[in-house]
Amino acid sequence: MRHRILVVAQDVMLRSTLARWLMPAGYSVELAENDRRARDLLAAHPVALTILVRGRSGALALKPDHSCGKWIIVTEQARDTVRSSRCEPAADGCLSIRLDEQEVLASVKSVLQTQPGDENTASRVEETWLFDDFTVDLAGRSLRDSLGNEVFLTRSEFALLVAFVRHPGRVLSRDQLLDAAAAGRRAEPYDRSVDVLVGRLRRKIEPDPKKPRFIVTVQGEGYKFIAKLRDGHSSPQPANGASAKGEEPPAGPQSIERRQITVMSCGLVGSAALAGRLDPEDLRDVISKYRRCCTEVIGRSGGLVTTSPDDRLLVYFGYPVASENDPETAVRAGLALIDALPKLDILASPLHARVGIASGLVLAGGAVLDQAGVEPVAIGEAPSLAAQLQAFAPSDAVMIAASTRQLVRGLFDYREAKFIALEGSAKPVPAWQVVGTSAVESRFEALRGVDLTPLIGRDEELDLLRRRWRQIQSREGRVVLISGEPGIGKSRLISAS
């Protein structure tokens, strides 16, 4: 079982810091700022240890008794005087206010291990948890699906998941989740970035993020993890029909998931003519250097490059790792590519390419080719549309579909849209040739335009920014830092102010 620890301190930063250190170490942590709150928590949940922080006056916010379990007192005095003068005679441990993470953890472990019957009740830091078809490996800092494929999580997403699986069935407030996921960060009362973080985690573990089964919202309180957890050290059930006799499951594809991605298709101009006039070995050398150049240019942008038997390359932006500016990154990579290829010193005449880009919803994953490995694939409209746009693109040009144009908007300059008759389309569809990067000063205006709806629910933040601006105009030095997860409206707030 996990030990429950109560931290009683008036200083909110000190409470948050102690919780941020103790929760990843496997302890269940309750926080209280005064005697009344502490007593309510003690009445609701028995604790193994209470950490009491003295105020500047030397007074404790809570008078310890048997309900506090063991207790450690934190004081502002130096440690060499603490033990002899200020610690309560019955205190099980003392710490200086100049706290050190390792020292706190060592002191807590030492105090808890002195309890009778510790071999049965000592905190056990589980290394592995199982829920549904997922395995959470704490030591390896990884989340794997039923096939053993790793599900990519950012540091904050993984810390959030650990907080949930360590407190199953318990409502966790936004402040508690921010303490766990945003180390060293002070959350403001109106900070809702944890909602964005929960949404991102749901998209990676929930069968249907719109109808979550594992992480449910408790209105006005926070979030609760209701998945059924199993001890990771117990023998898991065989997956995909594998027998209990240790037989290996049959080979299958990598995990398949629905993803919103941007796809780039790139091909050489005049490749058929090159094949007709070059020796096959020379042609192979040209194609090899062309692919190497493309891979280097696209690799710097984070795209995933897949090849075909001919000269065409298919590149995925947003798989396996997604970011909020994947469409923009794809267009910039396309422009860089058509600029780099003519500079290659391969033939007497420079190489030229055509690039087509489209965005959309696909099924992304992997198809098993043979025993040697797996080739990533994306099935949907975007790969086909990108390939057809590439075929229609002029030499040394980047053509983008309406789906990508909607996502990059004013970040680039375009030639007038062309209407192209594509295979499988009942009527011609619009496509734009990207001329270059636009000279717009604000990314926010480039992506969202100037006709914005009124900003609702941010009066307090707007008033604060405007007060700071008036102080700056009065020659009073001020600095304002606006931070948070992507997508919560930082740029929108600045624009409205």
Structure tokens at 146: 């039923």
Residue carrying structure tokens 């004081």: 75
In this structure, the number of other CB atoms found within 10 A of the CB of residue 99 comes to 15
**Looking at residue 400, what is its pLDDT?**
92
> For 250-274, b where at least 16 C-beta lie within 10 A, e where not — what string?
eeeebbeeebbbbbbbbbbbebeeb
pLDDT of residue 148: 79
Give pLDDT, residue 63: 77
List, for residues 366-423, the tens digit of each pLDDT value.
543 333 334 557 888 899 899 999 988 999 999 999 999 988 887 888 887 788 887 7
Query: What are the pLDDT digits (tens) for 469-480?
Result: 888 888 888 888
Ramachandran category for residue 47: left, alpha or beta (phi over 0 → left; psi -120 to 50 → alpha): beta
Q: Are 198 and 177 in contact (CB under 8 A)?
A: yes
Quickly tell me which residue has 């926070």 as its tokens. 222
* The model's pTM: 0.45
According to the model, what pLDDT value does residue 81 have? 39
CA 62 to chain centre: 39
Q: Both tokens of residue 27?
A: 């302890």
**pLDDT given at position 82:** 38
Strand 128-131, strand 229-231: pairing = antiparallel
In the chain, which residues have pLDDT < 70? 1-2, 56-58, 76-90, 114-127, 139, 179, 181-192, 231-256, 348, 365-376, 424, 439-452, 485-487
Q: Which domains does the chain have, with CATH numbers?
A: 4-121 (3.40.50.2300), 128-231 (1.10.10.10), 257-446 (3.30.70.1230), 456-496 (no CATH)
* Rounded-to-5 percentages of helix, strand, coil across the chain: 35, 25, 40
- 102-111: long-range contacts, CB 8 A cutoff, minimum separation 24: 104/18, 104/21, 104/22, 105/21, 105/22, 105/25, 107/72, 108/5, 108/22, 108/25, 108/27, 108/49, 108/51, 108/72, 111/49, 111/70, 111/72
Write down the pLDDT at residue 433: 92
